[in-house]
Chain A
Amino acid sequence: MKAKERVKESKKILHNVYLIEKGEKRILATKSKYGSHYGEKRFGEFREWIPTRSKLAAMLLKGYRVDIKPNWKVLYLGAASGTTVSHLADIVEKGIIYAVEYSAKPFTKLIELAEERRNIIPLLEDASKPERYSGIVEKVDFIYQDIAQRNQVEIFLDNIRMFLKEGGEGLIMVKARSIDSTAEPSEVFEAVLRRLSKQVKVVAHDSLEPYHRDHIFVHVRLE
């Protein structure tokens, strides 16, 4: 790191999450005791949180916040190799993350992460079959979902029904192309929002451009 690229100013936006002015750039980072997990840079006590790699980072950089508390219990669907999970684990340092992933290949990387951190329970399971892990996952405060699948909304709602506490929060990253690759993204998103609002309260939604094309996040609450 070059000397002049010192951290100029940092602003806390969530527990352990900071917006940092560094040189000319504005960087999102989490305060972390741990090393780099997916090639992200470390500086001082921070790990850079790259918005093109993590949709949650993209959402935060776009200025939207879900007030994730350090003691939250989280069910994470579509954990992949743990890019976002690693940062979320920095945030919920007193809580726990049940990280569900169906594909064995990226999962090996997630296992490494779970070995390093104490607050990650890795589950190699199919998120569309929540009964397969209902004896393990408890009632949680927060369900996060990022799986590019046609029926991702149904999967999200099924898991909410089974595992989300009353008043709990949910965040779903919707990919238009994987729900319907022929329809206009805006139409897909409208249908998704309609479907969601039948079961839960839609708190907010927005696109993830320019970090992720044809994606939106939807923040929901179980009331």
Chain B
Amino acid sequence: MENEDVKLSSDFVSSFMNAFNEELPFNPFDLGVKVFGSPEKYYSALRKTAIEVARLKTEKELKREDRYGIMLLKALDELNNSINLLENKLEDVKEIKESEITKEMEEEIRRLKALRRELEGEIERVMEKIAPNLSAILGGAIAARLLEKAGSLEKLSMLPASTIQIVGAEKSLYKAMARMKKGKPAKIPKHGVIFQHPFIRTLPKKKRGKMARFMAAKLAIAARIDYFTGELREELVSEVRRKYEELSRS
């Protein structure tokens, strides 16, 4: 390689961000040393630029990702509605007469279902990225629902366990509270969104409250770890699993 072929970029940050290539026929380090004069100088410049780029990128990502997950979930809800509605209408039509157009409708519904699978996959992926601990305990879908109800990961991380336990059951909670105010007996809900989780759903009714309470306590911790450090702590999942096994045996 001739020296006149390479020149120092005037904007390291944008060069760094665009440094994607097929496999290069040379080693970036050799070139870097040539241009910068020494390994120390090269690494120092590389590191400085890397940190600057990393800052820019994380800032941008952190702001957006939980909104993205929530919006995807809302889109998924709409899509589910549409699919159900269309399927019902299609049935109605088919009862009267099958035709070319009913086949086309069927085809369209199939396509929407494929899109639904893709959406679900993307939600899982996003949730695993922004909330690995919540996702590990709940699975991406339920974790996303919890996030949606809370509004943002920040808000979710500030909720106490007792609130997380009944997120999604607000209506029946307020109903119960209204009854209690009047001095009437009332049933306070023991689970909201998290009821969808098999660890709660599959337990006998009497034990669900205990499981929901335990899970909510772990979720509150998980949400805080997800929000503040974002590192997966596997012991949380195994504690929840152990509790479930204990409850389903006894």
How many Å lie between the Cα of A137 and that of B28 in the bound state? 7
Q: Is the CB of A124 within 8 A of B58?
A: yes
Residues B231 and A106 in contact, CB atoms below 8 Å apart: yes
**Would A114 and B27 count as touching, CB distance under 8 A?**
no
Name the segment of A4-12, A26-34, A127-135 touching the other chain: A127-135
The answer to whether B22 and A102 have CB atoms under 8 Å apart is no
Question: Is B21 interfacial (CB-CB < 8 Å)?
Answer: yes
Against A, the Cβ 8 Å flags (1 = close, 0 = not) of B20-53 are 1111100111100000000000011011001101
Complex Cα spacing A137 to B30, Å: 11
A108's partner among B19, B58, B226, B234 (CB-CB below 8 A) is B58
**Contact call A138/B47, Cβ cutoff below 8 A:** no
Supply 16 A–B pairs (Cβ within 8 Å), ascending by A: A80-B232, A83-B231, A103-B130, A103-B132, A104-B65, A105-B229, A108-B62, A115-B51, A118-B44, A119-B43, A123-B50, A123-B54, A131-B22, A135-B21, A135-B24, A138-B29
CA distance A108 to B226 in the complex (A): 13
Which residue in A122, A133, A139 is a CB contact (below 8 Å) of B27? A139
Whether A134 and B229, one on each chain, are in contact in the complex, defined by CB atoms closer than 8 angstroms, is no
B55–A103 CB distance below 8 A = no
A136/B229 in contact, CB under 8 A = no
A109 CB contacts on chain B under 8 angstroms = 229
Within 8 A of A (CB), among B95-133: 129-130, 132
Query: Which bracket fits the contact residues of B?
Result: 35 or more
A139 touches B29 (CB 8 A): yes
Which residue of B has the minimal Cβ distance to A80? B231
A92–B54 Cα distance when bound, in Å, is 22
Pick from A104, A114, A135: contact of B61, CB below 8 A: A104
Q: Which residue of B lies closest to A121 (CB)?
A: B50
With A115-B51, A120-B47, A138-B29 known as contacts, the answer to whether A104 contacts B21 (CB < 8 A) is no
Q: Which residues of A contact B226 (CB under 8 A)?
A: 105
Known: A104-B65, A106-B231, A133-B20. A138 touches B28 (CB 8 A): yes
Q: CA separation between A134 and B27, bound complex, in Å? A: 9
User: Top 4 A-B pairs ranked by shortest CB distance?
Assistant: A105-B230, A135-B19, A138-B29, A104-B61
Residues of B within 8 A of A57 (CB): none
Task: Say yes or no for A107: interface residue by CB 8 A criterion.
Answer: yes
Cβ of A203 within 8 Å of any chain B Cβ, yes or no, is no
Q: Nearest Cβ in chain B — how far from A3, in angstroms?
A: 32
Interfacial residues, chain A to chain B (CB-CB below 8 A): 73, 80-81, 83, 96, 102-111, 114-115, 118-124, 131-139, 148, 162, 212-213
Cβ–Cβ < 8 Å partners of B174 in chain A: none
A114 nearest CB neighbor, chain B only: B51
B196 at interface, CB cutoff 8 A:
no
Q: Are A114 and B47 in contact (CB under 8 A)?
A: yes
Which of A81, A103, A118, A139 is the one whose CB lies under 8 Å from B47?
Answer: A118
Contact call B47/A111, Cβ cutoff below 8 A:
no
Q: When the two chains form their complex, are residues B51 and A122 in contact, meaning their CB atoms are under 8 A apart?
A: yes
Give Cα distance in the complex from A80 to B46, angstroms: 20
Q: In the complex, A114→B52 CA distance in Å?
A: 11
Q: Is the CB of A134 within 8 A of B20?
A: yes
CB-CB under 8 A from A115, the residues of chain B are: 51
- Cβ-defined contact, A111 with B23, below 8 A: no
B231 to chain A: which residues have CB within 8 Å? Answer: 80-81, 83, 106
Does A81 lie within 8 Å of B230, measured CB to CB? Answer: yes
B68 within 8 A of A: no
Given contacts A131-B20, A131-B23, A135-B20, contact A104 B29 (CB under 8 A): no
**Shortest distance between the CB of A100 and any CB in chain B (Å):** 11
Interchain CB contact under 8 A, B51 and A104: no
Which of the residues B23, B24, B47, B57 comes within 8 Å of A121, measured between beta carbons? B47
Which residues of the partner chain B approach A81 to less than 8 Å between Cβ atoms? 229-231
Contacts of A136 in B (CB 8 A): 16, 19, 28, 46, 50
